[in-house]
Amino acid sequence: MSNKTSNAGQNLLDLAYDKLEELIVTCELKPGSHLRIQDLQTMTGFNRMPVYQATTRLAADTLMIIHPRQGVQISPIDLSRASLLLDLRRDLERFVISLASQRASDAQRSQFRHIANLLKTSESLTISEFNAYDSKIDQMVLSACGEPFLQYTLRPLHTIFRRIGWVYHSYTAGGESLDSTVEGHIAVLDAILSGKPEQAALASDKLIDFVKDMLPVLSDELPPSVFDVRMEFKQP
């Protein structure tokens, strides 16, 4: 296989992965639902091979469950597991954001400043628009760290909590406004720009605390079927 063909295949895999990841985050692929590979091909517009390879990666990221010869299941949202993973994410994010504050190049700092200014001047962001900013910020921070291993470690965690954030801001009364989460991300960007690791770690902790406060609200306000479609109540 030529390098050109190999690169094309990898690009299709990445595109299929990104599309499926987006559908998981926005719950268009409902938590707990079962689908065939053909269903995912129809939803994404990609052929079988890149979709199959993408599901393998998503399963490794614990975002899907593969049932051989039956299809795939979208991983349910487990709030107890999310609380545990958030403790892990707290430590990783403190390290990553502190490192980014020290290692970011002038060009990367210019990017951080640009995104911070866009967020500061944006009005009435939708959750989809904010998620695009959030994903971009995550990519920029990981790039500034200069350690590829961190990207493979943190990306699944980011996706898990981006889905939880989407549910919170879409379905709960307190989640109607994005002001608090936008302000939290601006604080992280400003802390990175300051070049002070301690300030960056503190800003990271405050953002994680905001996410942690979402979990009991989700548990109290929403029906179980939001987190796992198999638990939907059907009247006899």
Gap between the Cα atoms of 117 and 99, Å rounded: 22
CATH number at residue 122: 1.20.120.530
Q: Rounded to an integer, what is the distance from CA 50 to the centroid of its chain?
A: 21
- Asked if residue 136 and residue 166 are part of one domain, the reply reads yes
CA distances (Å), origin 10, targets 4, 16, 46, 62: 10, 10, 13, 21
CATH number at residue 15: 1.10.10.10
Last residue of a domain, one of 26, 59, 74: 74
At 175 the pLDDT is 85
DSSP-based three-state secondary structure for 65: strand
DSSP-based three-state secondary structure for 64: strand
Gap between the Cα atoms of 27 and 204, Å rounded: 26
The C-alpha torsion from 199 through 130 and 40 to 15, rounded to 10°, is -70
State both tokens at 197: 């690791």
Q: Is 56 exposed, middle or buried (CB count within 10 Å of its CB: 0-12, 13-18, 19+)?
A: middle
At 148 the pLDDT is 86
How many structural domains does the chain have?
2
Residue span of the structural domain in which 140 resides: 79-221
Last residue of a domain, one of 74, 91, 120: 74
24-36 confidence digits (pLDDT tens): 999 999 999 999 9
183-227 confidence digits (pLDDT tens): 999 999 999 999 999 999 999 999 999 999 999 999 999 999 999
